[in-house]
Structure 1
Amino acid sequence: MVGRDDVARWLADYAAVVHENAAELTELDRAIGDADHGSNMDRGFAAVAALDPSGFDDAAAYLKKAGMTLVSTVGGASGPLFGTFFLRLGGAWPAEDGDAAGLGAALRAGLDGILARGKAEVGDKTLVDALAPAVDAFDAAAGEGLGAALSAAAAAGAAGRDATVPLVARKGRASYLGERSAGHQDPGATSMALLLDSAARALPGSGG
């Protein structure tokens, strides 16, 4: 079961990971973007980590506040996209603390929110390339339990991140470079893969 405090631990873990990797994320963005992805994400998730989970009735309320915080503190496209993900995740969170099936449905809602907002598809060289296969992998492994599903999602997210390297960007700032965007790992897919890895490490059933 995944409750409010579990979610808070996940996002605190991720905030620390983003801080540790901020320079790398910015360097990835320097090649094909505006060189601010790392600093923007670091600022936004530091604000999320500063939220007091005890001030929220449940995980859903906490996730929605996290989403609104990201929208208001993260610049560029990442704020609206990650913010939408957490707003939709919170909106679809089960009334009772989520099990594997409930978390899978919430992750799917988060993906659908990003697809609707960003209009990107798998293969466009965006964070969707990490998140979409991760959600599919989670669903496929959900019957094996939450830990197995989270691990499968993290592995699929990492593979999706790596698969962005040869792609030509079709969305976002990187798309302006055309063929020159090929050969570079997408920073948004990288930060999404880190989020999935953090979930597999920090949430119940992961052994973390």
Structure 2
Amino acid sequence: MNAGDSGEGGNRVDTLDIETTRAWILATAAAVDSHRDVLTELDAAIGDADHGANMHRGFTAVAAAVGGDYAPETVGQLLGKVGMTLISSVGGASGPLYGSAFRAAGRQLATPEADGDQFALALRAALDAVRALGAAAAGDKTMVDALMPAVTTFDEAVTSGAGLRAAARAAATAADAGARATTPLQARKGRASYLGERSIGHQDPGATSTALIFAALADTLDGTLGRMP
């Protein structure tokens, strides 16, 4: 069974096309907007309280850049536009990290649509880019703590035969769990690491915003693929 994973519509095509990708990015921008204060509060506890504002500014710029008349020829071109916009509009470490992730993913998707296997490779490239730039590992209390389990879970789901929609939902669940699991960790990277043990007891804002991106992906695919004839 393809996109459905629901027992209906066996002829559904389980791919991520340009318009669905655009919808995902716009949904991410909306999620960042609605969670801006949450991200700010989390960052105020262990950082400099600007993660909410930075992510909001970045994805507001992204929504303007990829909406309207923008007509990319491939999924990768669209994601590359997202990445470059984040790098140019977001201050601090967030812009380069998130921007590099989207650009790396985009370089793997030089087609008008991508299936689960292709998107798994793109997510792996995004993770590799973040780890290379930020030199962070799982357990360091960073966005990697949400990104790594999401990427691994997505890949495992696709490998086991799950469709894109089911794999994305599993990845979103893993990302959320990973973000929540940063609360008892002591930060070993970034500004939060300067706090030492005082960083314990606070959820990482970068992991939280990463989980929002995967939740937006899963919600978009639930709404889009679920309605395909």
Q: Same fold (TM over 0.5)?
A: yes
Q: Deviations over 1:38-95 (max 9, x none)?
A: 0100000011111245332221111101100000111111101000000001001153
TM-aligned CA deviation for residue 96 of structure 1 = 4.8
TM-aligned CA deviation for residue 148 of structure 1 = 1.0
Q: Deviations over 1:84-134 (max 9, x none)?
A: 000001001153510011111100000000010000000000000000011
Matched with 2:214 is: 196
Q: Any unmatched runs of 5+ in structure 2?
A: 1-14
TM-score (ref. length: structure 1): 0.96
Matched with 2:123 is: 107
Q: Does 1:58 align with 2:74?
A: yes
User: Is the CA contact 1:81–1:117 (under 8 Å) kept in the aligned structure 2?
Assistant: yes
Q: Does 1:83 align with 2:99?
A: yes
Q: Distance in 2 between matches of 1:178 and 1:206?
A: 45
| RMSD of aligned alpha carbons | 1.4
> Equivalent residues in 2 for 1:40-55 (5 A)?
40-52=54-66, 54-55=70-71
Moved over 2 A (4+): 52-55, 203-208
Say which structure is richer in helix: 1
TM-aligned CA deviation for residue 207 of structure 1 = 3.2
> Equivalent residues in 2 for 1:109-148 (5 A)?
109-142=125-158, 143-148=161-166
Percent same amino acid at aligned positions? Answer: 53
TM-aligned CA deviation for residue 199 of structure 1 = 0.3
Q: Distance in 1 between matches of 2:19 and 2:97?
A: 24
Matched with 1:26 is: 40
The alpha-carbon distance between structure 1 residues 206 and 136, as it changes in their structure 2 partners (threshold 3 A), is farther
TM-aligned CA deviation for residue 3 of structure 1 = 1.4
